[in-house]
Structure 1
Amino acid sequence: MSRPREFDADLALHQCMEVFWAKGFHSTSYEDLTRATQVKKQSLYGVFKNKRELFLQSLALYRERNLSILEKRIAEETLPIRQLEAICEAALYPDEEARLRGCLIINASQEFGSEDADVNRQIGQMMERTEAMIEQAIRAGQAEGTITSRLGSRELAAYLGNAINGAKMMEKSGIPREEICGVMRTTIALIEETKRDPSDI
């Protein structure tokens, strides 16, 4: 009996993520995955168990990759309000191909709804960690007086996080980028601290 062929598991997982990203979980066949990876089913599932486990690990890979991008963008900015703007900019799709595919996390949320606890756990981790980055920038802005303190940092982070997810869905629906950027600018403006003119008092 021949032994299963060895392969680069990290590369195969990345390739599977790309397939799931393009087709979704249910529309992806075993043949799609073996064709993309050039790895036989026996070998592929010897490492990843089954298609569902492959999908869950693909979500985790997508999450970590995107969180790393956000962390890098935030680190490039020193002002809290600019960090928030950088997060919003990073959330928008860079080209037409990315727009058509959308966000894998949001796609999974729409495909599964609330029916799969493990999938929803992966989605929840992405949202929680993104909002934690947003909240850190908001707290820094509140401390220096550039972001409103009328609401708590957690509430504002959830507000901005929901706005970002909404912008992603708007863009995938074909709404012009200019309109979506206007929505994001308005969202940022609403959480900035406005300085009252002394003559208004």
Structure 2
Amino acid sequence: MSRPREFDVDRALHQSMEVFWTKGFKSTSYEDLTRTTQVKKQSLYCVFKDKRDLFLKALALYREQSIVMLEELASREVSPLKKLEAICDATLYQNEETMPRGCLILNSALEFGYDDREVNREVTLMFDQVERILERIIRDGQEQGLITERQTGKELAVYLNNVLSGAKVMEKSGASREQIEAVLCTSLALMTSENAG
């Protein structure tokens, strides 16, 4: 007869996500995870097969949380340009503590490259989901004459998605908030219709 689970799995997963986000997969030891979660290695193994399984679930959790946040920003009752500004602002680190961590999805893409199918699946899923949200907002903006129609909504969504990723890489590499904001503001300005305002 198996023993009952003695810890909050969701809480342990959230805590593990924070560790992986800070240290990366390879630099995270089981000791890091057990110390942070206060759960014994054997107990973690009962729920998560191994460190990699725990990491992949943490990566999926990070993606899901990020998409929920973007969907919330996209559903606000403001103009499409204001929505894009809010998304750009949310992309930037909120304080000095989170600044060096960057984005867990991008960090993982850089750590693993494109050879790891399971990690790459999460990265691709994140990019696709973000792109769809951006395209929806951009098309609304184009219909309202606020965003240029020189490119399609999809092309602009791909462009802005890459700008946001670049901003996270700049953040991770120590660029100042002012430098990153300048890049984001320039990108939005290039997308804005001449008839807007």
Aligned residues: 196
Partner of 1:45: 45
State the distance in 1 between where 2:6 and 2:98 align: 32
Aligned runs of 1:2-151 on 2, under 5 Å? Answer: 3=3, 5-151=5-151
State the distance in 2 between where 1:119 and 1:173 align: 22
Mark the runs of 5 or more structure 2 residues left unpaired by the alignment.
none
Partner of 2:193: 193
State the distance in 1 between where 2:2 and 2:46 align: 14
State the distance in 1 between where 2:118 and 2:52 align: 10
State the distance in 2 between where 1:84 and 1:124 align: 21
Mark the runs of 5 or more structure 1 residues left unpaired by the alignment.
197-201
Residue 162 of structure 1 aligns with an amino acid whose one-letter code is N
Task: Return the TM-score normalized by structure 1.
Answer: 0.92
Q: Percent identity?
A: 57
State the distance in 2 between where 1:79 and 1:114 align: 37
Q: Spell out, residue by residue over 1:33-83, the C-alpha distance to the aligned partner (whole angstroms, 9 max, x if none).
A: 111111111111111111111000000111111111222222234211111
The Cα of 1:145 is off from its aligned counterpart by 1.3
Larger Rg: 1
Given that 1:138 and 1:147 are in contact with CA atoms closer than 8 Å, whether structure 2 keeps it comes out as yes
The Cα of 1:4 is off from its aligned counterpart by 6.5
Task: Return the TM-score normalized by structure 2.
Answer: 0.94
Given that 1:131 and 1:161 are in contact with CA atoms closer than 8 Å, whether structure 2 keeps it comes out as yes
State the distance in 2 between where 1:174 and 1:105 align: 18
Residue 176 of structure 1 aligns with an amino acid whose one-letter code is S
State the distance in 1 between where 2:126 and 2:48 align: 22
Given that 1:73 and 1:90 are in contact with CA atoms closer than 8 Å, whether structure 2 keeps it comes out as no
